[in-house]
Chain A
């Protein structure tokens, strides 16, 4: 299928060993698109955490399940103006994500776990989740020049 703005499409298995490969490719892609160094690291962290959540929660740690990741350069409306952005869409066929959990948790409670969603929301400008036809779809958007305020959004 011809997608306008398509930069890269990955078809992965839910094996944690592949995470470092995705990070390497994404870092290069983000640098190529012109993100500043710290934003490149933020994009890599957000996508890595999204993949980690799919592996751990949607697939319950099973290492051989399919994940599709599509990276596109898009124009996204923000406060009445179109802005250049990197869109990342992650699709899996695992257990339906409980959208209530997408709100994350209070970080004042010092305990391991629950940080992944917080990292996704902090590193991305938009976070949208959908579940259709037995597939989870997480859409992440990172603006090339970050508009203020830097805050994630959530939809379903």
Chain B
């Protein structure tokens, strides 16, 4: 998994690619929670377009991010979900709790 961050006005976008699983999810969780808990960035967006695979560890990291965002009053938005990611989120029955957009433009202006 690769992760990089872009900072816009009061917004951070994480571009994530590759597989999010037991081996790689800590590398997602750490910067995500830092962005929310320490930096308290008002809007944190995850670009999942290039994510090939996500398992329960990855979904758990997203849930942690969501909960952290609620704790500090930030927005936490996902966009670019491909079939694989969408299927896993639907299977988790947690898809409804996330704010999901189709495009980056929608995520930054929603």
Contacts and interface: CB of A to CB of B under 8 A. Distances in A.
Nearest to B91: A122
A41 B87 CA distance: 9
A interface, how many residues as a size bin? 20 to 34
A4 interface: no
A49 B19 contact: no
Interface string B40-84: 000000000000010111011101101100000000000000001
Contacts, number: 63
Contact of A119 (B53, B56, B97): B56
Instruction: Please report whether the interface of chain A is mostly helix, strand, loop or mixed according to DSSP.
Output: helix
Interface in A90-115: 107, 110-113, 115
Interface residues of B, number: 23
B93 interface: yes
A23 B88 CA distance: 15
A115 B92 contact: yes
Given A23-B53, A56-B22, A118-B92, A112 B63 contact: yes
A45 B55 contact: yes
A112 B23 contact: no
A148 interface: no
Interface of A: 16-17, 19-20, 23, 38, 41, 44-45, 48-49, 52, 55-56, 107, 110-113, 115-116, 118-119, 122-123
Interface of B: 19, 21-23, 53, 55-57, 59-61, 63-64, 66-67, 84, 87-88, 91-94, 97
